[in-house]
Structure formats: C-alpha cells, structure tokens
Amino acid sequence: MISAGIDAGSRAIKVVLIDAEVATVVGTAVNDQGVDQETLSRVVFERALAAAGMTRGKVGKVVATGYGRNRVSFADTTITEITCHACGVRRVVPSAMTVIEVGGQDSKLIRLDAKGNVRDFAMNDRCAAGTGRFLEVVASRLGVGLETLGTLAAQSRNPASISSTCVVFAETEIVGLLASGVPVEDIIAGVQSAVARRVVAMAGRNVDTPIVFTGGVALIPGMLEAMARAIGRPVQVAPDPQMTGALGAAILASGL
C-alpha cells in the first residue's frame, strides 16, 4: 500500500509517496504555495501520483504537515512539522542528533534523542529574521537572484555587520550600507551570517552532533557555510532538504 505525506509549507507545497512494503519513495512533487491551498494541494498530490504512475485508489493513509496542514481536507490526519522533519531527517541521516530547519516564514532547532525521538525544540515564527523571507527581501533589494547569493558572498573580503534583528529595520540598514558604498558581496555575506546567527541563537550552548540542516533555505548557496561558522561545528545538508517534512509525514503515514 502507498502512503502519502503532504507538507503545505508557507512558500511551497511538497508531496512524497512511499511504498510501505519496500520502504521506498515512489513519487514526489513540489509547487510554489498559492492562495487556494486546498486546491493546490490536490493538484500537487495528483502530480506526484502521475509521476509514480498510479491513481488515488492505490493510496492508503495521507498525513499533512506544515504551515497549511489544516487546509488539506483530504488528509486522514495532521502531524506537526517538528515531528515530521525529525522523522524525515533521521531517515536520510540516521545518526542525526540536531536538526536545523529553516523555511520561508519560520526556523526551528530540533534536538533528538538516541532513538531519533524529539527531545525538545526551539522555534522562531514571530519574525522573518532568520528565515528565507529575509533572504528574499535582501535579494530583491540588491537586485540579485537567490541562486547567486552564495557566489557573491564567497567574493566578500569584509562582510558587513548587520545588527538589526527585524527585517524592516535590517532592510533600512542595508539601504544605508549601499549609500555608504559597501560592496554588494559584503552586504550579502553579512546578511547570511546574520540569518545563521539568529537561528543558532535558539540553540543555547549545547548542540549535539551530527547537525543536519534542512528546509528550503538549505538549498541557497552559502547558507551551509554561514550556519557552520555561526554554530562553530560541522553541519551537513540533508539530501533533498526541501522534502524532509513531506518525507517524514509519509513515513509516519505508513507506520514504518
């Protein structure tokens, strides 16, 4: 029987299908989030089914997670993204002890026990600083693409100091830096460091390794290096980091 996980995130909807009998992913799909989450979730779900060459009748349980999970009416149940990301990351990195998940609108630091269960977590969902939205705002203001941030940051020789912890004030700060002639690459390097510091601040002093970075922001070049510098320990990116929440939801749906 096929099980499905749907991660209705703030910036994208992700779907993973798992064949429980062989514990294998058989289909995936992802799409930018929209206004009508219910309809879009069904469209992305159907796309994943088509990719797997199957119909809805082949699917047993459906678990929804993420920001918009309560809008996925055809799901059998919902599970928090904390639990789903922990489960998904532990499946692809079995030794993971700490999960750093940074999405479009929030960031989380999840501590796991030796069995992979969630021990505790910290979450920033009140401010866009430390999230993908901050990076989007900065990229737009500087007139560059998200995919170029890492390349530009690598060219920095004197990263700018971004002291504001609010996106609105940080944007004003960036305008001031530009007016002062600070190179774009130094501003980007400073912003990436600021985002990483904001996330790492949730960790406190003790962070167990291995540390796994996941979520859509883990795909942005330069953020892995910024996160590792901020935390002062090795950090690795989860395979296909944007999909770990949906993967965890599908695993939990299958009972594996």
Residue extents of the structural domains in the chain: 2-83+243-254, 96-237
- Give the pLDDT of residue 239: 95
Domains 2-83+243-254 and 96-237 share a fold: yes
Give pLDDT, residue 197.
86
Residue 194 confidence (pLDDT):
85
Give pLDDT, residue 34.
Answer: 76
| Domain 96-237 = CATH 3.40.50.150 | no
Quote the radius of gyration of the chain (alpha carbons, Å).
Answer: 19
Q: Could you give the residue ranges of the DSSP H alpha helices within the chain?
A: 37-52, 81-92, 132-142, 149-154, 167-179, 184-200, 223-231, 244-254
What residue ranges of the chain have pLDDT lower than 70?
A: 125-130, 164-168, 205, 256
Q: What is the pLDDT of residue 204?
A: 72
99-121 pLDDT, tens digit each: 999 987 788 999 999 999 999 99
Cα distance between residue 57 and residue 36, in whole Å: 24
- Looking at domain 2-83+243-254, its CATH architecture is 2-Layer Sandwich (3.30)
Predicted local confidence at residue 225, as pLDDT: 93
